[in-house]
């Protein structure tokens, strides 16, 4: 057992926890995701919103395929890369100006994009990290 690997995954769990905390901090009081989804906000989505939704779509496809093929290591690596490198490191940082200075429609689109990524991302992680995802969901 490699202690560095255990510490690394602890940090990964902390990263997931913090991005959820960031989202809940930015969701206005009584926030409810748009029932029509982000597709109904197409004209207000920023380039970064579209990018992360594309990345989410790709990780859904790869995770489902890897799960069906019993390639759990590949599935977990894809999810790790999506959460850490794309959602946490890139998207949350580029969405901050949009959330502060964007129009009301742009802010709503960004919040709904963030909500969609967290909702789907937690569902994808659930088979491998049930306790953390249950607590956050």
The tokens describing 88, both together, are 């946490």
Residue spans of the domains in the chain: they are: 56-137
What band does 137 get if pLDDT is binned at 50, 70 and 90? confident
- Whole-angstrom CA distances from 113 to 8, 44, 50, 102 are 27, 11, 9, 14
- Number of helices (H), then strands (E), belonging to the chain: the values are 6, 0
pLDDT digits (tens, 9 = 90+) for 85-122: 999 999 999 999 999 999 999 999 999 999 999 999 99
Closest of 5, 19, 3, 4 to residue 85, by C-alpha: 19
Average pLDDT for the chain: 94
Q: Flag whether pLDDT at 1 surpasses 80.
A: no
- Whole-angstrom CA distances from 133 to 20, 55, 75, 107, 125 are 11, 20, 16, 26, 7
pLDDT value for 39: 87
pLDDT digits (tens, 9 = 90+) for 22-77: 999 999 999 999 998 898 898 999 999 999 999 999 999 999 999 999 999 999 99
pLDDT value for 109: 96
State the CB neighbour count (10 A cutoff) for residue 24. 11
pTM: 0.92
Closest of 77, 114, 119, 120 to residue 93, by C-alpha: 114
């Amino acid at each position: 057992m490699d202690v560095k690997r255990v510490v690394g995954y602890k940090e990964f769990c902390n990263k997931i926890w913090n991005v959820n905390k960031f989202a809940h901090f930015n969701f206005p009081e009584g926030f409810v995701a748009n029932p029509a989804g982000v597709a109904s906000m197409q004209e207000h989505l920023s380039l970064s919103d579209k990018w992360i939704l594309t990345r989410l779509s790709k990780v859904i496809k790869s995770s489902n395929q890897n799960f069906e093929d019993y390639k759990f290591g590949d599935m977990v690596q894809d999810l790790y890369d999506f959460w850490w490198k794309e959602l946490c490191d890139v998207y949350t940082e580029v969405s901050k100006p949009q959330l502060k200075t964007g129009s009301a429609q742009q802010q709503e689109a960004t919040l709904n994009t963030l909500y969609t990524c967290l909702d789907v991302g937690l569902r994808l992680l659930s088979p491998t990290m049930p306790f953390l995802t249950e607590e956050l969901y």
